[in-house]
Chains A and B, each alone.
Chain A
Amino acid sequence: EVQLVESGGVVVQPGGSLRLSCAASGFTFDDYTMHWVRQAQGKGLEWVSLINRDGGSTYYADSVRGRFTISRDNSKDSLYLQMNSLRTEDTALYYCAKDMWGYGGNSFDYWGQGTLVAVSS
């Protein structure tokens, strides 16, 4: 059974930093591109970032480029999101999502339950 378990969400002040983690199990982690998707309270889903299978290619939404860094450790079946220079508008539930296709076809067939990031003074 595929499982994705996010952690690391907390309350942080504007301008602060945070690292989210996602522990994956139930599939061959290094065969798949992985994503972060977020949802602000009362809003829809927003794709944030992706990383390819070996970590050599990464992409970001314009809203987070230059502030967030996605990474992965295939030896630990784990995905990360380093979030710097946080803004109030980054407040959201952050989901880790598995790409349906290994190469990064950008459909998301499994999601975690999410971890909540709140940016507030």
Chain B
Amino acid sequence: EIVLTQSPATLSLSPGERATLSCRASQSVSSYLAWYQHKPGQAPRLLIYDASNRATGIPARFSGSGSGTDFTLTISSLEPEDFAIYYCQQRSYWPPATFGQGTRLEIK
């Protein structure tokens, strides 16, 4: 089973700042990595698929990069609605399609 490790566990930033979230896989997942945003009481939302492709309706301030074992989600300028938990997820080796443990992005 592929293990995804996200860092940091918590990121404290202010609106307008740049956020950089990391996800490292225990072995190469090629580019088969997605990012999701999850707010309490809401359905998770797909942001990025296959490492760098924005999902439908996702603002351009969200971008993804990386391949192999190291991936990054960048939010170029934080909006108030961006504070949430972010999960990475691999689909290279399944079942299971594994998730990282999440990064909590909180307002500083």
Chain B residues near A100: list those with CB within 8 A: 46, 49
Q: Return the CB mask of B70-108 against A: 1 if under 8 Å, else 0.
A: 000000000000000001010100111111111000000
Once the chains are docked, how many angstroms separate the CA of A46 from the CA of B87? 11
Most B CB contacts (10 A, CB to CB) among A50, A59, A107, A114 go to: A107
Q: Return the CB mask of A104-120 against B: 1 if under 8 Å, else 0.
A: 01111111111000000
Q: Say whether chain B's binding surface is mostly helix, strand, loop, or mixed.
A: loop
Chain A residues near B50: list those with CB within 8 A: 107
Q: Judge whether A95 is part of the interface by a CB distance below 8 angstroms.
A: yes
Chain B residues near A109: list those with CB within 8 A: 46, 49, 55-56
Once the chains are docked, how many angstroms separate the CA of A108 from the CA of B44? 9
Chain B proximity of A1: nearest CB distance (Å): 12
B95 near A60 with CB under 8 A, answer yes
Once the chains are docked, how many angstroms separate the CA of A62 from the CA of B94? 12
Once the chains are docked, how many angstroms separate the CA of A17 from the CA of B4? 32
Chain A residue nearest in CB terms to B87: A45
Those 7 A-B pairs whose CB atoms lie nearest each other, nearest first: A106-B91, A111-B43, A106-B97, A45-B99, A59-B95, A107-B34, A107-B49
Show the binding face of A for B, using Cβ within 8 Å.
4, 44-47, 50, 59-62, 95, 97, 100, 105-114
